[in-house]
Amino acid sequence: MRLLVLGGTGFVGGATVAEGVRRGWSVTVFNRGLHGVVPPGVHRLRGDRTAPDGLAALAGGEWDLVVDTWDGAPRIAGDAARALAASVDRYVYVSSGSVYRDPSAHGLDEESPVVDAEPDAVDGDYPQLKAGAERAVRQVFDDRALVVRAGLILGPGEDIGRLPWWLRRVERGGDVLAPGPADLPVQYVDVRDLAAWMLDAGAGRLGGTFNAVGPRAQTTMGELLDACVAATGAAARLRWTDPDRIVAAGVQPWSDLPIWLPIGHPYRGLLERNVTRALAAGLTCRPVAETVADTWRWLREVGVVPPRAGRPQRSAIGLDPAREAALLAG
């Protein structure tokens, strides 16, 4: 198989490149050449897809499959799709579960309403950008397009820092504020499982739209944090704390305490997607202990969470130690 990855040095793109190499495929990446490195044997084409004639390096190429993680202007996604319409058989666009109109709803499936978005838009918020890009790609590739609505993505290489924050916090040891309840379900997908499924689906010429994330009861906050303790070997004591007390103290779920979205939170639906279609199409997910242990191994190798390739840096996540100590003492 001949694989083209637009980007290829960030979290999902990098995992997709690595999976293509592991399979022995012919892998090409297209990016500006300013961030990250590519594995040996991967061909790199340079270009800036936002610039006039920025896609020129793609001219004359032929690939079986392209994977695109673009999260900017939908018009730019459409430009890439049009440039590749005659030279690529299948277009995989990595979208997001954030496109759904009602993020609080539980069990959203692929037919649920999405936000209003135009395929030729040049700006918008994140849900609009992703939804508009979906439309732009479909306009060109139609049933040759595979739209992958990912959810929470974890695993080695994570450049947002959600699971790495928990691992570093547990590593420090002592009493750790654990947001309850311990049996709160967490729905996520390991980036390597996502990459493998996308390449399987693309090679199998699958089209359509899929919520690509693990089962809704895949793991819990308790299992996730227990795995962090086991992986780090730290002398940490998880102090499970009532969610109402945490929220009343002004702590923000998802940002101050990454991954955690308590029952009743306006965005709880992000961790309650219907994934029947993706599971039926072959998506499989490794145990949470493996994801956590491998992320810890990677984090120790790199030292710090890498910057997001080619994207503005997000504000820091994680709870301030002084605020954590105050809650633990209260």
One pLDDT digit (tens) per residue for the chain, 330 residues: 999 999 999 999 999 999 999 999 999 999 999 888 899 999 999 999 999 999 999 999 999 999 999 999 999 999 999 999 999 999 999 999 999 999 889 999 999 999 999 999 999 999 999 999 999 999 999 999 999 999 999 999 999 999 999 999 999 999 999 999 999 999 999 999 999 999 999 999 999 999 999 998 899 999 999 999 999 999 999 999 999 999 999 999 999 999 999 999 999 999 999 999 999 999 999 999 999 999 999 999 999 998 886 665 666 799 999 999 999 998
In the 8-state DSSP scheme, what is residue 121? -
Angle subtended by helix axes 221-232 and 288-302, to nearest 10? 40
| 113 and 60 Cβ atoms separated by less than 8 Å | no
Write out the H or E segment, with its range, that includes residue 166: helix 162-172
pLDDT at 311: 62
Tell me how far the alpha carbon of residue 83 is from its chain's centroid: 25
Write out the H or E segment, with its range, that includes residue 93: strand 88-96
| 84 and 141 Cβ atoms separated by less than 8 Å | no
Distances (CA, A) of 99 to 29, 116, 127, 139, 218: 26, 9, 5, 17, 22
Q: What are the tokens at 209?
A: 């739209």
| 7 and 69 Cβ atoms separated by less than 8 Å | yes
Q: Name the nearest CA neighbour of 202 among 14, 28, 63, 30.
A: 63
Asked if omega into 181 is within 30° of 0 (cis), the reply is yes
Q: What are the tokens at 277?
A: 């279609």
Please give the Cα distance from 73 to 128 (Å, whole number).
Answer: 9
| 12 and 94 Cβ atoms separated by less than 8 Å | yes
Q: Residues with Cβ < 8 Å from 128, sequence gap 6 or more?
A: 115, 116, 117, 121
Distances (CA, A) of 49 to 46, 131, 135, 294: 10, 19, 18, 33
Q: What confidence tens digit (pLDDT) does each residue in 205-250 have?
A: 999 999 999 998 899 999 999 999 999 999 999 999 999 999 999 9
Q: Name the nearest CA neighbour of 283 among 186, 198, 185, 224.
A: 198
CATH of domain 2-152+190-212: 3.40.50.720
Q: Name the nearest CA neighbour of 191 among 18, 6, 3, 7.
A: 18
pLDDT at 53: 95
pLDDT at 104: 84
CA quadruple 55, 89, 4, 148: dihedral positive or negative?
positive
Tell me how far the alpha carbon of residue 109 is from its chain's centroid: 18
Q: Where are the domains of the chain?
A: 2-152+190-212, 160-186+216-271+287-300+312-329
pLDDT at 37: 85
Q: What are the tokens at 248?
A: 């009343």
Q: What are the tokens at 281?
A: 């199409």
CA quadruple 205, 207, 213, 215: dihedral positive or negative?
negative
